[in-house]
Amino acid sequence: MTAIGFSRGDLYYLLPELIVCTGALLLLLADVALSQQRQARAAWVAILSLGAAATLLAVMSASETTIARGTFAVDGFAIFFKLLFVMSAAVTVLLSHRYLTIEGGRPGEYYFLVLCATAGMMIMASGIDLIVLFIGLETMAVCFYILAGFLKPNRRSNEAAVKYFLLGAFSLALLLYGMSLLYGLTGSTALRAIATALASGSSGRLLAVAVMLLVAGLGFKIAAAPFHMWAPDVYEGAPTPITAFLSVGSKAAAFAMLLRIFFEGLPAFHLDGLGSVFGQPLGWASFFYVLSVLSMTIGNLAALTQTNVKRMLAYSSIAQAGYMLIGIVAGTPRGVSAALLYLVVYAFMQLGAFGVIVLMRREGVAGDELRDLAGLSSRQPAIGIAMLLFMLSLGGIPPTAGFMGKVWLFASAIEAGYFGLAVIAVLNSALSLYYYVRVVVYVWVRREEPGTPPIVLSRAMIVALAFAAAGTLALGVYPRILFELAQASAASLGRAEPMLGWLR
């Protein structure tokens, strides 16, 4: 226990991360070693290493332990998220394949960055120490800065990178300032120690300030209003597969971190303890309440009149973050499990939707304007159906996964007594259908403009979209497994103990 260094157990439980990192390094090598023609194989490396990591994660899915001297938890919660990240990364890789050929990026570099970002996310999901969380966050963020600007000659991509980088760094500073205050108040960076310290002592204003800074920093990463402003611009400018990954992976990772910090580190201040406002006790849930309402409303409102699908989806993802925050606000086991569940659902539908946008990218067609989608259903009926499913799911119409996710989020709000929040959420949800349905109208009702180049499917693309569509539909029709998984994972939050037995 007191020994410095690694134990066998540390290594074993870090294996998924290590495999992903190894894959990343291999890709760097491949970038140098492979000839230009065979660069496509890089994707296989990425897929294989992600697959291996996923297998390992599945194997250790029953674990509930902490390693690395209590800074790194391997519990249901972490594995749930890691599987989500790995899956998103794999889909991203599949989506990127042809996109890169069209845009002319270097696959090795690209996949390296994707895998590194994945590794960062995985660390974020496991970290139960502020430092570890910070490292994971930065690993991910730095990779995304580069990925956002990966299309170097493209001005939009460039600009997206600059914005993301500057604002990301800025928000990081806020987050770190909050962390430093938290550390100062409790004398520890370990979340549970923080919880213990705060449980005994009083809190005061400084803690409130720290919480606010944390909320702001994390709110930035999950793109919650009013800290969302970067998202539309960056999502629009970044390469589309990266946008998909950013909106799914990065958001989920930030949610994992948020859940870790607030539910493991500050559980006592959920509803009160941070003072009072207008005579009402103030806890961090209040901040997320505001964030949730603002995100839903602003995201949906702004998305209403967009004509660029990528940008529309960006705003939609802001709104979606608002929905997920409902689970955080509720703070009940049901709320947390609902948020987890919704993250998975969201991953499927959002990746799928962006996948279709990626598909529309052809020589000479940017593919991200609404009118580019016109007539899609008559050209590629299957893709049309898939897009229909994704849009319906995003809007929360059964029998898609989005419906189940939303029902559960609203349920958690009602259970916790947040009727007002629930009403705002359902009204927003109805409002959002307006623009989702507009996409459907373009796909299904509008005729294509003559003379547009044909839509060509690649095998990787088919796999990715089929996976996303199948997930969206299956989880909507028979979500039982996901429900149970999410409930178990939510329950495991904060339960992991230092391991015993041979792996020590």
Closest of 104, 109, 246, 221 to residue 167, by C-alpha? 221
Interacting span for other proteins (CB under 8 A) from 25-33, 88-96, 244-252, 401-409:
401-409
Interaction between residue 1 and other proteins (CB under 8 A): no
Contact call for residue 232 and other proteins (CB under 8 A): yes
Instruction: Report in angstroms the alpha-carbon separations of 394 from 43, 355, 487.
Output: 29, 14, 22
| Using rule CB under 8 A, residue 441 touches other proteins | yes
Helices 155-186 and 191-200 meet at what angle, rounded to 10? 50
- What's the rounded Cα separation, in Å, for the pair 91 and 78? 20
* Shortest CB 164 distance to other proteins, Å: 9
Report H helices in 104-227: 107-126, 130-148, 155-186, 191-200, 204-221
* Region for residue 273 given its phi and psi (left: phi exceeds 0; alpha: psi -120 to 50; beta: otherwise): left
Distance between first and last Cα of the chain: 9
CB distance 330 to 413 below 8 Å:
yes
206-225 binders of other proteins (CB under 8 A): 208-209, 212-213, 215-216, 219-220
**Does the footprint of other proteins cover residue 423 (CB under 8 A)?**
yes
CA 217 to chain centre: 15
Distance between CA atoms of 412 and 504, rounded to whole angstroms?
39
Q: How far apart are CA 278 and CA 259, in angstroms?
A: 27
At 293, which helix (H) or strand (E)? helix 284-304
Site for other proteins contains 25 (CB under 8 A): no
Q: How many helices (H) and strands (E) does the chain have?
A: 20, 5
Give yes or no for residue 392 binding other proteins (CB under 8 A): yes
Q: How many CB atoms lie within 10 A of CB 446?
A: 16
CB nearer to other proteins: give 51 or 70. 70
| 371 lies in the site for other proteins, by CB under 8 A | no
Complex with other proteins: residue 256 or 341, whichever CB lies closer: 341
| 226 belongs to the binding site for other proteins (CB under 8 A) | yes
Say if residue 267 is exposed, middle or buried (CB neighbours under 10 Å; 0-12, 13-18, 19+).
middle
**In the complex with other proteins, which residue's Cβ is closer, 56 or 318?**
318
List the x/- string, 106-135, binding to other proteins by CB under 8 A: ------------------------xx--xx
Q: Kindly state whether residue 427 participates in binding other proteins, applying the rule CB under 8 A.
A: yes
Sheet containing 72-74: give its strands across.
Answer: 72-74, 65-67, 497-498
Using CB under 8 A as the binding rule, whether residue 466 contacts other proteins is answered as no
Q: How far is the CB of 84 from other proteins (least distance, A)?
A: 19
Residue 160 found at the interface with other proteins (CB under 8 A): yes
Rounded distance, CA 475 to CA 458, Å? 25
Question: Given candidates 31, 64, 109, 138, which one binds other proteins under the rule CB under 8 A?
Answer: 138
Question: Shortest distance, CB of residue 211 to other proteins, whole angstroms?
Answer: 9
Q: How far apart are CA 273 and CA 206, in angstroms?
A: 12
Q: Is residue 201 part of the contact set for other proteins (CB under 8 A)? A: no
Among 159, 267, 271, 333, binds other proteins (CB under 8 A): 159
Out of 33, 59, 199, 430, the residue judged to bind other proteins by CB under 8 A: 430
The span from the CA of 441 to the CA of 457, in Å, is 22
> Which of residues 45 and 198 has its CB atom nearest to other proteins in the complex?
198
Contact status: 180 vs other proteins (CB under 8 A)? yes
Decide: is 155 part of the binding site for other proteins (CB under 8 A).
yes
Q: Report the site for other proteins in 30-59 (rule: CB under 8 A).
A: none
- 500 vs 157: CA distance, rounded Å: 49
18, 34, 48, 229: which one contacts other proteins (CB under 8 A)? Answer: 229
For residues 250-289, which are near other proteins according to CB under 8 A?
A: 274-278, 282, 287
Nearer to other proteins, 45 or 253 (CB): 253
Q: By CB under 8 A, how many residues form the interface with other proteins?
A: 108
Instruction: Please choose, from the candidates 218, 224, 194, 190, the residue with its C-alpha nearest in 3D space to the C-alpha of residue 207.
Output: 194
354 binds other proteins (CB under 8 A): no
DSSP character string of 445-462: ISPPPTTPPPP---HHHH
> Nearest CA to 62 among 49, 78, 46?
78
Hunting for tokens 């089929």 — which residue is that? 466
Does residue 349 belong to the site contacting other proteins (CB under 8 A)?
no
Q: Which of 403, 405, 443, 473 binds other proteins (CB under 8 A)?
A: 403
Among 40, 48, 271, 411, binds other proteins (CB under 8 A): 411
Stretch near other proteins under the rule CB under 8 A, chosen from 2-10, 90-98, 477-485, 495-503: 477-485
Q: Which residue, 343 or 475, has its beta carbon nearer to other proteins?
A: 475
The residue among 346 and 418 lying less far from other proteins, judged by its C-beta, is: 418
Beta carbon of residue 24, minimum distance to other proteins (angstroms, whole number): 15
